[in-house]
Structure 1
Amino acid sequence: MKKNIAIIMGGFSSEYEISLKSGQVVYDTLDTSKYNAYRIHIFKTKWVFVNDLDEEFPVDKNDFSVLVNETKISFDCVFNAIHGSPGEDGFMQGYFELLGIPHTSCDMYQAALTFNKRDCLSALKPYGIKTAASYYVNQGDVIDEDAIVSKVGLPCFVKANKAGSSFGITKVYKKSELQKALDVAFKEDDEVIIESFLDGTEVSVGVIDYQGEIKVLPITEIVSDNDFFDYKAKYLGESQEITPARIDDELAEKVRAVAKKVYKVLKLKGFSRSEYIFKDGEPHLLEVNTVPGLTAASILPQQAAKAGISMSALFENAIETSLK
């Protein structure tokens, strides 16, 4: 019997448009001989099933079911394609875990931890994971610009703590630019992390639970046409994403080992993609993504393709692994 798969997409953050694209790719890719796929749009104002005629049917949040033409549809598994809140920060994971519905992403605590850049980096430091020097600011704090520059130096990056796709991030060259950068970040989140600039090769490493084993995918080198790997570089073609990365075997082995260690230490499940910059020959972790982009142009599917894993196999594995 075919399984009913709810593909959740959308979300509450600036990343909702990217999420809709990822979710649509999953919907278009899943094998219809094995799965009945349903597009579920989740927004602050509505949770709805959207059929191929773009008709909307409300989701019953009591048990995450849908009533279509007087037929109740329940789901065997949820494929999580929501980037940002509430799909990547633990809220949906906790909801589905309470309902006992399998889902393709990591557990609630891991999602909340990895979505919080400050907490995630702090949790990993005792395990020897190297990171940039950082300074934390909360909305309403008195801003000590001299203390910030003394801690992280210039240039530096001002980032919204809980945001993705480079929303709320600015590269700052002068102390006088800090307040404007903080204003940009606070539009996305009420917490900010300010990090030192690491001048080195940037790479992205996908790690997945594939056929019962933790698999590190081929490494991607990020070469932005812009000042850094910003939104335009990520989504508007203003970058080169080179897989496999043009790094020597020693550096490749180092970053593979670190990425796998991060996955295991954090007890992740499903997909993950972590970003690193090499400084003095050592990979320094920038962040961990647990619901990475899933379009054909996205980094993790590109890496999977290099590893001989098709999009269909990648998505099916995520579903079957969660059903176990």
Structure 2
Amino acid sequence: MSKKSVAVVMGGYSDEYVVSLKSGQLIYDSLDRDLYDVYKVVILKDEWYFSDEKDQKHEISRGDFSVQLENNDILTFDVCFNIIHGTPGENGILQAYWDAIGQKYTGCDFYQSALTFNKKDTLAVLSKYGIPSAKSVYLRKGEDIDVDSITDQLGLPVFVKPNQSGSSLGISKVKEKSALLAAAEVAFKEDDEILIESFLDGMEVSVGVIDYKGETIVLGITEIVPTNEFFDYAAKYEGASEEITPARINDETRIKVEEIAKRAYNSLGMSGFSRSEFILMDDVPYMLEMNTNPGFSPASILPQQAKIYGISIADLCGNEVEKALSTFRN
């Protein structure tokens, strides 16, 4: 039986590309070489390339995602393992392109990716399934910002965040009315739409959910204890938080969180890795967002949860590849 060729696709167009390269390296190192020929593919704004064993770059054709090698052989991939965080791999753009050229890939499809990258729309869909979230005000760039009206509705403090952005970029916690406009400016630098959300005073948990061997499973619930004001970029990637797995919650709350996280995953028609963020307030899980391509570097939450759950990284990644190989996408 010939081995299947797998491109581990990493990078991206946002500031998150640095994290994606680390995630991609872990997947590249973990995939079983007895089963797969594994290739490193990097997608950046100004270049798409395959990096060979000697770290030489070979351009990827955007027409059919193939590579012409020096001996004029054409390299194509049976599966693309998508581990790009942010645009274009987490918001549906790359998935739509792959669908158009008939390229198989891991994770969820273009619609789920686009939907979950949009925080407002995700929470609106999930509210129909009885999944609570913070009260919020949605604004587009250029709209008047009525600070008094917003704080009357939501109280203080509030979180101001871009509607479509990853890794907590552009998020501020605002405690005074006078700081709201400046925080909105920061968020608008990341996106043309922002959300201002009421503050939920409770424990933050991060819940890894995947479909593994035909079943939706919760890999783990991790308690986030930020040393900063909240779980921001520094807390996520520069160690400024304590992550405790499993979270220090009672069984009743754990079951409630697992049930809601699974319901969110299935309601959205998800596939592949996901990590949902919740705030537990009075033992009720309020959803903040869902990430469809969460960090997968050795320091990231999902690999830590898998380890505790007892699934090896090799099995976790192999399961994704096998699923992609057997998936027929229109």
Superposition TM-score tier, normalisation by shorter sequence: over 0.9
Residue in 2 that maps onto 1:291: 293
What does the per-residue CA deviation read over 1:245-299, in whole Å, with 9 as the maximum and x for residues that have no partner? Answer: 1000010000100000001100000111101001122100000000011112110
SS at 1:12 equivalent? coil
Residue in 2 that maps onto 1:153: 155
> Of the candidates 260, 271, 275, which is equivalent to residue 269 of structure 1?
271
Residue in 2 that maps onto 1:226: 228
Match runs of 1:65-104 below 5 Å: 65-69=66-70, 70-104=72-106
Residue in 1 that maps onto 2:319: 317
The aligned amino acid for 1:235 is: Y
The aligned amino acid for 1:44 is: K
Residue in 2 that maps onto 1:26: 27
Please give the alpha-carbon distance, in whole angstroms, between the structure 2 residues aligned to 1:209 and 1:277: 23
Contact 1:93–1:105 under 8 Å retained in 2: no
Residue 278 in 1 paired to residue 280 in 2? yes
- The number of residue pairs the alignment matches comes to 324
Residue in 2 that maps onto 1:3: 4
Please give the alpha-carbon distance, in whole angstroms, between the structure 1 residues aligned to 2:42 and 2:298: 21
SS at 1:323 equivalent? helix
The aligned amino acid for 2:124 is: S
Deviation (angstroms), 1:321: 1.2
Q: When the two structures are superposed, what TM-score results if normalisation uses the length of structure 1?
A: 0.98
Match runs of 1:43-54 below 5 Å: 43-54=44-55
The aligned amino acid for 1:186 is: F
SS at 1:24 equivalent? helix
Please give the alpha-carbon distance, in whole angstroms, between the structure 1 residues aligned to 2:178 and 2:240: 28
Please give the alpha-carbon distance, in whole angstroms, between the structure 2 residues aligned to 1:12 and 1:151: 36
Please give the alpha-carbon distance, in whole angstroms, between the structure 2 residues aligned to 1:179 and 1:218: 38
> Of the candidates 212, 227, 230, which is equivalent to residue 214 of structure 2?
212
Residue in 1 that maps onto 2:200: 198
Structure 2 gap ranges (5+) = none
What does the per-residue CA deviation read over 1:206-241, in whole Å, with 9 as the maximum and x for residues that have no partner? Answer: 111101111111211111111100111111111111
Contact 2:209–2:261 under 8 Å retained in 1: yes
Residue 61 in 1 paired to residue 73 in 2? no
Contact 1:212–1:321 under 8 Å retained in 2: no
Contact 2:19–2:297 under 8 Å retained in 1: no
Deviation (angstroms), 1:107: 1.0
Please give the alpha-carbon distance, in whole angstroms, between the structure 1 residues aligned to 2:233 and 2:45: 23
Q: When the two structures are superposed, what TM-score results if normalisation uses the length of structure 2?
A: 0.96
Please give the alpha-carbon distance, in whole angstroms, between the structure 2 residues aligned to 1:76 and 1:91: 20
Please give the alpha-carbon distance, in whole angstroms, between the structure 2 residues aligned to 1:50 and 1:162: 30
Please give the alpha-carbon distance, in whole angstroms, between the structure 2 residues aligned to 1:293 and 1:122: 25
SS at 1:219 equivalent? strand
Residue in 1 that maps onto 2:135: 133
Q: Which runs of 4+ in 1 moved over 6 A?
A: none
SS at 1:122 equivalent? helix
Please give the alpha-carbon distance, in whole angstroms, between the structure 2 residues aligned to 1:241 and 1:115: 24
Structure 1 gap ranges (5+) = none
- Percent of aligned pairs with the same amino acid: 54
SS at 1:84 equivalent? coil
Please give the alpha-carbon distance, in whole angstroms, between the structure 1 residues aligned to 2:140 and 2:21: 31
Please give the alpha-carbon distance, in whole angstroms, between the structure 2 residues aligned to 1:99 and 1:315: 24
Deviation (angstroms), 1:310: 1.0
Please give the alpha-carbon distance, in whole angstroms, between the structure 2 residues aligned to 1:320 and 1:250: 35
What does the per-residue CA deviation read over 1:12-56, in whole Å, with 9 as the maximum and x for residues that have no partner? Answer: 111111111111111122122211111111112111111232211
The aligned amino acid for 1:137 is: L
